[in-house]
Structure 1
Amino acid sequence: MSELDRYLQAATRDNTRRSYRAAIEHFEGSWGGFLPATADSIARYLVAYAGELSINTLKLRLSALAQWHNSQGFADPTKAPVVRKVFKGIRALHPAQEKQAEPLQLQHLEQAVAWLEQEAQTAQSADNQPVLLRAKRDTALILLGFWRGFRSDELCRLQIEHVQASAGAGITLYLPRSKSDRDNLGKTYQTPALQRLCPVQAYIDWISAAALVRGPVFRGIDRWGHLSEEGLHANSVIPLLRQALERAGIPAEHYTSHSLRRGFATWAHQSGWDLKSLMSYVGWKDMKSAMRYVDANPFPVMPRIVEKPVIS
């Protein structure tokens, strides 16, 4: 790969590249389309999957097809009037019903963490290292994900070298890139230590128990207690969270990794945070994005267990 190709490839995120590749394969393989495509064929492709695929998925397919034609030097057929008109008609006849993760309620967070702490104590007494490590890891991941409002991919890309934690004080986390950091400038996040449900102490306990000094913060653990050298994949956060909640006796089928982010946003909203402070803390750039995460039917008033974290 040439230096030029290497930089061009770095300009597109891995997840986007995989999604676009799958979209092109679907157009050619599943539907039987030909590339370069005509505007008419793309319009017929949209019609074929109008009632089957969501609006967002169809939009992603159009973006992938547009990117392929542009990168290959062909005119972009997705901009043709017939394609735009068909897509507009699909939106009118198949309006998107946005699915949102159930926000993790504070009482469920407390219940899950209490269960995980009990698991860790029992495992330590029984010298069961695999269970001890999983309990410590899951506690740290859930508490950091909640109080920092991180996405699953952000949690999975945390590196020990980029984290500074001080017991009883706070934690500073640096992410070289994230979904909201389109220019890859990097961003530093801070969260204070809490009297209970403390993400700082949970992080320190996990790193100490796992004897980690560098590399990914959150890793896979096999049944013998061996840690993976690689970080967890973002897709593994949902089953990890659900399993932890279910072990604590909490129905978890409606929870996803975004439940941590939405749970924090709803808690902050109920605790009196103004929208501007919430947007700055979590990293939302526009009000529409923030309002999607703030529960329209907020929880009963929750006890304040933390002062407003320092906004980075």
Structure 2
Amino acid sequence: MNTIERYLQAATRDNTRRSYQAAVEHFEVSWGGFLPATADSIARYLVDHAASHSINTLKQRLAALGQWHVSQGFPDPTKAPMVRQVLKGIRTLHPAEPRQAAALQIQHLQQAVAVLETEAGQARQQHDLPALLRARRDVALLLIGFWRGFRGDELARLQVEHIQAQAGRGMSIYLPRSKGDRQALGVRHQAPALKVLCPVQAYLQWIEVAGIAHGPVFRKLDRWGNLGDQALNSNSLIALLRRILERGGVPASLYTGHSLRRGFATWATSNGWELKALMNHVGWKDAKSALRYIDASASFGELAVLEGATPSLLGPADPL
């Protein structure tokens, strides 16, 4: 790979690049289309998959095919009026409510963390380092992901050298790039220390027991409890999150990598956060993005039921 190709590749998120490659391969290999494509072939491709693919999947396929044509110097057939009309017709004839990840409820978070803390205590008493590592990693993953509203890929890319944490005070987390950071300028997030379910304490306990001084924060543990050097694959986080929650006795089949983010957004709204404060905390640039994550029907209850918690725990008046 030459220098230009390396920088061009760095300009696109890994997940986006992989999904675009898969979409182009589906059009060309699975469906038998030819590239460069015509507007007519793109329209026929959409029609052939109208009943089996969601509208969001079809739009993602169009974006990938459009990007391929532009990058190769060809006119973009996905912008043709006929293609847009076919897509509109599919949306009309195959209406479907967009699927969303279930919001992780605060009670389920508390329940899972309580079980993991019990596992950690037992592992320490039994000098079982593999079990202790797993419990401490999983607590940190849940609490940082929830209170910071991180996506799965953001959790996977956290680096120790980009985090400053002080017990009882808070933590600062720098993300060099993220989905909402279109200019790749990097974003610094703050998280306060909490009386219960504290992400700062969980992080410090995890890196202490793991002996991590640099590199990825969240890493794979094999079946024997050996800690790897490489970061968790973001694509594996859904399965990992479900296993963590199931260990805590939480019904986890509806939860995905976005459940932590959506859970925090819904919790914050139910506890009086204004939309602007929520957007600033999570990093959303527009209200439409934020509102998609808020589950107005969810009832999280009062956080005062948590032992030792104040009713606001992390209220909108708290400095972030």
In the alignment, the residues of structure 1 paired with residue 147 and residue 122 of structure 2 have an alpha-carbon distance, to the nearest angstrom, of: 26
Displacement, 1:300? 4.7
Displacement, 1:301? 3.4
Q: How much identity, in percent, do the aligned residues show?
A: 64
Say which is worse superposed, 216-225 or 294-303, in terms of deviation.
294-303
The equivalences for 1:160-239 within 5 A come to 160-239=160-239
Tell me if the contact between 2:120 and 2:135 (Cα under 8 Å) persists in the aligned partners: yes
Indicate whether 1:141 and 2:150 are aligned: no
| 1:134 partner letter | R
Indicate whether 1:78 and 2:78 are aligned: yes
In the alignment, the residues of structure 2 paired with residue 143 and residue 173 of structure 1 have an alpha-carbon distance, to the nearest angstrom, of: 14
Unaligned runs of 5+ in 1: none
Tell me if the contact between 1:191 and 1:310 (Cα under 8 Å) persists in the aligned partners: no
Displacement, 1:61? 1.2
Displacement, 1:35? 1.2
| 1:29 partner letter | V
Unaligned runs of 5+ in 2: 304-310
In the alignment, the residues of structure 1 paired with residue 73 and residue 240 of structure 2 have an alpha-carbon distance, to the nearest angstrom, of: 44
Tell me if the contact between 2:54 and 2:96 (Cα under 8 Å) persists in the aligned partners: yes
Q: CA RMSD in A?
A: 1.3
| 1:56 partner letter | N
Tell me if the contact between 2:107 and 2:300 (Cα under 8 Å) persists in the aligned partners: no
Indicate whether 1:93 and 2:98 are aligned: no
In the alignment, the residues of structure 2 paired with residue 241 and residue 77 of structure 1 have an alpha-carbon distance, to the nearest angstrom, of: 40
The equivalences for 1:120-139 within 5 A come to 120-139=120-139
Q: What whole-Å deviation, never above 9, does each CA across 1:18-52 have from its counterpart, x for those lacking one?
A: 11111111111111111111111111111100111
Tell me if the contact between 2:267 and 2:300 (Cα under 8 Å) persists in the aligned partners: no
2:41 is paired with a residue whose SS is helix
In the alignment, the residues of structure 1 paired with residue 115 and residue 173 of structure 2 have an alpha-carbon distance, to the nearest angstrom, of: 26
Counterpart of 1:21? Answer: 21
In the alignment, the residues of structure 2 paired with residue 72 and residue 261 of structure 1 have an alpha-carbon distance, to the nearest angstrom, of: 36
Displacement, 1:63? 1.3
1:220 is paired with a residue whose SS is strand
Displacement, 1:225? 2.2
Counterpart of 1:256? Answer: 256
Tell me if the contact between 1:218 and 1:232 (Cα under 8 Å) persists in the aligned partners: yes
In the alignment, the residues of structure 2 paired with residue 256 and residue 148 of structure 1 have an alpha-carbon distance, to the nearest angstrom, of: 16
Match of 1:310 among 306, 309, 319: 319
Tell me if the contact between 2:28 and 2:34 (Cα under 8 Å) persists in the aligned partners: yes
| 1:216 partner letter | P
The equivalences for 1:57-76 within 5 A come to 57-76=57-76
In the alignment, the residues of structure 2 paired with residue 232 and residue 110 of structure 1 have an alpha-carbon distance, to the nearest angstrom, of: 24
Tell me if the contact between 2:158 and 2:216 (Cα under 8 Å) persists in the aligned partners: yes
1:111 is paired with a residue whose SS is helix
Displacement, 1:3? 2.6
| 1:221 partner letter | L
Displacement, 1:307? 4.0
In the alignment, the residues of structure 1 paired with residue 80 and residue 147 of structure 2 have an alpha-carbon distance, to the nearest angstrom, of: 46
TM-score scaled by length of structure 2: 0.94
Counterpart of 1:37? Answer: 37
In the alignment, the residues of structure 2 paired with residue 246 and residue 80 of structure 1 have an alpha-carbon distance, to the nearest angstrom, of: 48
1:236 is paired with a residue whose SS is helix
Distance 1:198 1:45, change over 3 A: same
In the alignment, the residues of structure 2 paired with residue 191 and residue 266 of structure 1 have an alpha-carbon distance, to the nearest angstrom, of: 18
Provide the aligned length of Structure 1 versus Structure 2. 311
Q: What whole-Å deviation, never above 9, does each CA across 1:75-105 have from its counterpart, x for those lacking one?
A: 2211222212111111111123211111111
Tell me if the contact between 1:267 and 1:302 (Cα under 8 Å) persists in the aligned partners: no
1:296 is paired with a residue whose SS is coil
Displacement, 1:112? 0.6
Say which is worse superposed, 240-249 or 111-120, in terms of deviation.
240-249
